[in-house]
């Protein structure tokens, strides 16, 4: 299991835990809301019964003060008392200013009818009236409170995640830059000695072919050292012939590849110049070509196409390898993601950094088909 897969699993586990906590909070709060709603319904029924007894002139009420106190104690639940045709007789706990406006009470009657079933009041043997009510402000706030609470928690977690992510990324960049520069420093000392030893061997009459090959390897090590030394600082960009730079990388990889691999680099009709840092840009191209070779298993065709637009240049690198699943289009550029048993998962991540941060361009998977091949696209500004 690579590092990126482990991180993804931890993120999924934390997300599931957060969802479970949120669901438990909503369930418990909803349970409390339902219980409070039942209590409010019971209070309204008691209020309706007291109203009926006070209104029923045919019944002698021995404790009218008690009934009046029952009605008066309702200070939170909005209630409307209507006749059999739902014409408003009286109301309680509604906005008194809005109640004076035409149509307000009728609108509240319709709202209350939709929210709760009216409570019938039978006065005498022929008169029927209704008590309508809706949830109190406290109940409404309590019903929406858990969602507000979860939103605040989610916002806090999101801000915390951004803060920690930014801090972690900055720390990773410092480690990345430090390791790159330290690598360049460590390579510098033995390289200087190798150059001196090569000159000494030439003076002693070493075979010219051997000396040439050793010199090529030393130059290659110097290029690698130069690349590492440029990580972490803004490299200088110079206007270069894009085709020539690509051809140099293709030739370098081609000489170290079997004859079963065919490289096709199409030369554009006109010369295309773009601002490049050659050592870093060639590093990207070599990474893409090596990945293509691995995907093809050392046999197939690699096609490189340059498309010249007015403001941009597109570089498409296609292979005939095993392809990439759509789910992995963005994942493959994450540090630590790799499908190789010995890979570190840094090649494409480094390539993305070089193209996007140092060359102000873009690199992405243009398309891929399992079993048929993949096309990477690099977009550079002219």
**pLDDT tens-place string over residues 311-370:** 899 999 999 999 988 888 878 887 666 666 555 557 788 888 889 988 999 999 999 999
302 in Cβ contact with 263 (< 8 Å): yes
- Residue-level pLDDT at 378: 96
Confidence of residue 67 (pLDDT cuts 50, 70, 90): very low
- Residue-level pLDDT at 72: 60
pLDDT at residue 24 tops 90: no
Quote the crossing angle between the two packed helices 64-72 and 3-55, to the nearest 10°. Answer: 150
* Proportion of the chain above pLDDT 70, given as a percent: 82
- Residue-level pLDDT at 306: 94
Confidence of residue 180 (pLDDT cuts 50, 70, 90): low
For 150, the enclosing helix (H) or strand (E) is helix 137-203
More confident residue, 219 or 302: 302
For 249, the enclosing helix (H) or strand (E) is helix 242-254
- Residue-level pLDDT at 250: 92
CB atoms within 10 A of CB 256: 8
User: Among 42, 33, 18, which Cα is nearest to 142's?
Assistant: 33
User: Among 12, 13, 95, 77, which Cα is nearest to 41's?
Assistant: 77
pLDDT at residue 12 tops 60: yes
Q: What is the mean pLDDT of residues 57-80?
A: 59
The pair phi, psi for residue 345, each rounded to 5°, is: 75, 35
- Compute the mean pLDDT over every residue in the chain, rounded to the nearest whole number: 80
Cα angle value 178/184/253 (rounded, 5°): 120
- Residue-level pLDDT at 58: 43
Q: What is the mean pLDDT of residues 173-190?
A: 69
Q: Which residues pair with 378 in a beta bridge?
A: 315, 363
- Give tens-digit pLDDT for 141-168: 777 777 787 788 788 878 887 887 777 7
For 314, the enclosing helix (H) or strand (E) is strand 312-318
- Give tens-digit pLDDT for 192-208: 788 788 788 777 777 77
Question: What residues have CB less than 8 Å from 317, skipping those under 6 apart?
Answer: 285, 288, 289, 292, 302, 303, 304, 375, 376, 377, 378
CA distance linking residue 243 with residue 271, whole number of Å: 8
Range of lowest pLDDT (87-101, 227-241, 293-307): 227-241
CB atoms within 10 A of CB 59: 12
Helix, strand, coil share of the chain (percent; to 5): 55, 20, 25
Range of lowest pLDDT (44-48, 95-99, 259-263): 44-48
- Give tens-digit pLDDT for 34-43: 787 787 777 7
Confidence of residue 61 (pLDDT cuts 50, 70, 90): very low
- Residue-level pLDDT at 59: 47
The pair phi, psi for residue 271, each rounded to 5°, is: -70, 130
Q: Which residues pair with 273 in a beta bridge?
A: 241
- Residue-level pLDDT at 376: 95
Tokens of 213: 């090959």
- Residue-level pLDDT at 118: 84
pLDDT at residue 269 tops 70: yes
Tokens of 284: 């990207």
Dihedral, CA atoms, 37, 38, 41, 43, nearest 10 degrees?
-100
The pair phi, psi for residue 314, each rounded to 5°, is: -105, 135
180 in Cβ contact with 231 (< 8 Å): yes
108 in Cβ contact with 94 (< 8 Å): yes
Model confidence pTM above 0.75: no
């Amino acid at each position: 299991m690579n590092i990126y897969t482990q991180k993804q699993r931890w993120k999924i586990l934390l997300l599931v835990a957060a969802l479970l906590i949120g669901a438990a909070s909503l369930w418990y709060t909803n349970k409390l809301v339902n219980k409070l709603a039942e209590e409010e319904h019971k209070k309204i029924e008691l209020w309706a019964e007291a109203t009926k007894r006070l209104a029923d002139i045919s019944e002698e009420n021995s404790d009218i003060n008690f009934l009046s106190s029952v009605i008066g104690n309702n200070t939170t639940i909005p209630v409307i008392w209507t006749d059999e045709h739902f014409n408003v007789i009286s109301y309680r706990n509604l906005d008194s200013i809005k109640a004076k406006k035409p149509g307000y009470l009728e609108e509240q009657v319709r709202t209350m009818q939709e929210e709760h079933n009216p409570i019938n009041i039978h006065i005498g043997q022929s008169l029927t009236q209704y008590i309508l009510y809706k949830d109190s402000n406290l109940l409404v706030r309590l019903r929406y409170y858990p969602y507000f609470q979860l939103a605040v928690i989610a916002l806090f977690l999101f801000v915390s995640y951004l803060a920690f992510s930014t801090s972690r990324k900055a720390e990773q960049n410092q480690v990345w830059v430090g390791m790159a520069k330290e690598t360049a420093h460590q390579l510098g000392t033995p390289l200087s000695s190798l150059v001196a030893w090569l000159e000494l061997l030439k003076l002693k009459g070493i075979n010219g072919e051997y000396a040439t090959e050793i010199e090529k390897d030393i130059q290659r090590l110097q290029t690698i050292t130069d690349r590492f030394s440029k990580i972490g600082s803004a490299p200088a960009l110079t206007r270069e012939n894009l085709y020539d730079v690509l051809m140099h990388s293709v030739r370098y990889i081609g000489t170290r590849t079997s004859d079963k691999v065919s490289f096709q680099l199409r030369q554009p009709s006109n010369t295309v110049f773009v601002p490049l840092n050659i050592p870093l840009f060639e590093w990207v191209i070599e990474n893409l070509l090596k990945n293509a070779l691995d995907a093809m298993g050392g046999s197939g065709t690699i096609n490189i196409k340059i498309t010249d637009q007015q403001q941009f240049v597109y570089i498409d690198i296609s292979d005939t390898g095993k392809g990439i699943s759509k789910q992995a289009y963005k994942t493959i550029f994450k540090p630590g993601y790799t499908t190789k048993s010995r890979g570190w998962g840094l090649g494409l991540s480094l390539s993305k950094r070089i193209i996007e941060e140092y060359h102000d361009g873009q690199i992405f998977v243009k398309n891929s088909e399992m079993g048929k091949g993949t096309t990477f696209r690099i977009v550079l500004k002219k």
